[in-house]
Amino acid sequence: MRHTSRAIIIKNKKLLLVTGHNAGYYWTPGGGIEEGESPEQALRREMQEELGVEIVSLEEYMTFQYNAQHVTTFTVEMGDDLKVGNEVTDFIWYQRGDNTKVSGRLRHKLLPELTRQGLI
């Protein structure tokens, strides 16, 4: 089973989403946890690699299984000046009701919970 860490970054009830090379959909920033890393360490590394930003603070939000993944999500406060890296080609600020195509994990697990809590 693959273990991943994902960032939940919300500003003005909008959620930061990223996409990669010809993916055709968006997802939350983050990625796989490498051997010897904690979920927090993996997320800090991924945020630097994908968006060139440092995490100012993070707090575990929810953990769940989706298909063959064990996903740990964190609410994150980050530095400014987002810039796409090699793995990420674009980012958007998603708001509820957007027609943006998103990953299944996001659509089925995270968006309903974020909406229920009034975060987006």
Per residue in 63-99, pLDDT tens?
Answer: 998 888 899 999 999 987 888 877 889 999 999 889 8
80, 14 contact by CB (below 8 A): no
**Structure tokens belonging to residue 91:** 């980012």
100 phi and psi, to 5 degrees?
A: -60, 135
What was the pLDDT predicted at 104?
Answer: 87
For residue 31, give the H/E element and its range: strand 30-32
The Cα–Cα gap between 120 and 111 comes to 8
* Report field, pTM of the whole predicted structure over 0.75: yes
Per residue in 15-66, pLDDT tens?
Answer: 999 998 889 999 999 999 999 999 999 999 999 999 989 999 999 999 998 8
76, 8 contact by CB (below 8 A): yes
